[in-house]
Amino acid sequence: MTLRVAVIGARGRIGSEAVKAVGAAPDLELVATLGRGSELSELTDAGVQVAVELTHPDSVMGNLDHCLSHGIHVVTGTTGWTEERLATVRGLLAAAPELGLLIAPNFSIGAVLGMKFAQAAAKYFESVEVVELHHDHKADAPSGTATRTAQLIAAARAEAGRAPQQDPTTHGLPGARGADVDGVPVHSVRLRGLLAHQQVMFGDDGETLTIRHDSLHHSSFMPGILLGVRKVVETPGLTLGLEHFLDL
Ligand SMILES: NC(=O)C1=CN([C@@H]2O[C@H](COP(=O)(O)OP(=O)(O)OC[C@H]3O[C@@H](n4cnc5c(N)ncnc54)[C@H](OP(=O)(O)O)[C@@H]3O)[C@@H](O)[C@H]2O)C=CC1
Ligand SMILES: O=C(O)C1=N[C@H](C(=O)O)C[C@H](O)C1
């Protein structure tokens, strides 16, 4: 039986690619495409089972609220997640325990592997810095991927009993050392011509290790989105990160 799928944010950079990918998948049926100004009631009218939500940090919470209170599973890649927002969606899911919600900071398999490799390397190096580079229309900084990567690195360091990194800076301009995400400096570059790139740089006595990933086209996110749609319907509750649906 095919799954009835909608894309919310269907005219956007990633949303328009998702429309093509869902439309081409033999086991999925694209039954609704919503853009800004669309009525969310279109979802229930079309009998949507899974919504792929790819909009904006200002829009995602309203869309999730609607979907989860109308019996619709959700796969979202929209950024801007905070602990407070996660608590809100956990509350929505508590009222609909049969539904699944996948929040994926990055749908690209390579990016997910890069995060895993960084997590594994974290306990072995004294210094670590994350540099994320994106196109010049991105609304959020640091990126969702970089934020999650830094959180995973910080947790791995703490688990290994590593002390927080010391920043030697005593002179300079505010912001020069990037954003502090759980003690990991994260630097955000915005440049026309780029799409989505990240490098995690580790350093210790006499050596460095750089883990770099590049998304060169939005097609890089599609296998992850399709996997998410297929898996979310059989995975009730909140899944944070595509890695939980991969055999890693
Ligand atoms: N997890 C991942 O792997 C990836 C995540 N992303 C994230 O996805 C999000 C979208 O990125 P991107 O496609 O580049 O952004 P775009 O601005 O290109 O697309 C977003 C689209 O959503 C529309 N939109 C905004 N609010 C609503 C709403 N309430 N209902 C329906 N449509 C709405 C926008 O309309 P309008 O233009 O009129 O505002 C726009 O067409 C971002 O948060 C980005 O970081 C992106 C790539 C990969
Ligand atoms: O806005 C983007 O383009 C992307 N957003 C996600 C993020 O913030 O990490 C995923 C990917 O980097 C592309």
Exactly one of 66, 134, 187, 218 is catalytic; which is it?
Answer: 134
The burial of 116, by beta-carbon neighbours within 10 Å (0-12 exposed, 13-18 middle, 19 or more buried), is given as middle
Confidence (pTM)? 0.97
166 token code pair: 């010391």
Ligand 2 contact, 198 CB (< 6 A) = no
Half-sphere exposure at residue 198, Cβ-oriented, CA atoms within 13 angstroms: 25
Ligand 1 atom at minimum distance from 62 CA:
29
Residue 136, SS3? coil
* 173-178 average pLDDT score: 97
Answer yes or no: are the C-beta atoms of 230 and 102 closer than 8 Å: no
Identify the nearest ligand to the CA of 62 by its number: 1
Q: Residue 2's pLDDT is what?
A: 96
CB contact at 8 A, 198 and 143: yes
Grouping H, G, I as helix, E, B as strand and the rest as coil, residue 27 is coil
Expressed in angstroms and rounded, the spacing between residue 162 Cα and the centre of ligand 1 is 38
pLDDT the model gives residue 89: 98
123 is catalytic: no
Q: What is the mean pLDDT of residues 134-160?
A: 98
Q: 216 to each of 152, 196, 242, how far by Cα in Å?
A: 24, 7, 19
Number of the ligand closest to the Cα of 78: 1
Mean pLDDT value of segment 92-101: 98
The tokens for 4 are 């009835």
Task: Give the pLDDT of residue 198.
Answer: 98
Query: Is the Cβ atom of 63 under 6 angstroms away from ligand 2?
Result: no
Q: Among residues of the chain, what percentage have pLDDT more than 70?
A: 100
pLDDT mean across residues, the chain: 98
Residue ranges at the known binding site for NAD(+): 9-14, 77-79, 104-107
1, pLDDT greater than 90: no
Answer yes or no: are the C-beta atoms of 215 and 224 closer than 8 Å: no
> How confident is residue 177, by pLDDT bands cut at 50, 70 and 90?
very high
CA 193 to chain centre: 21
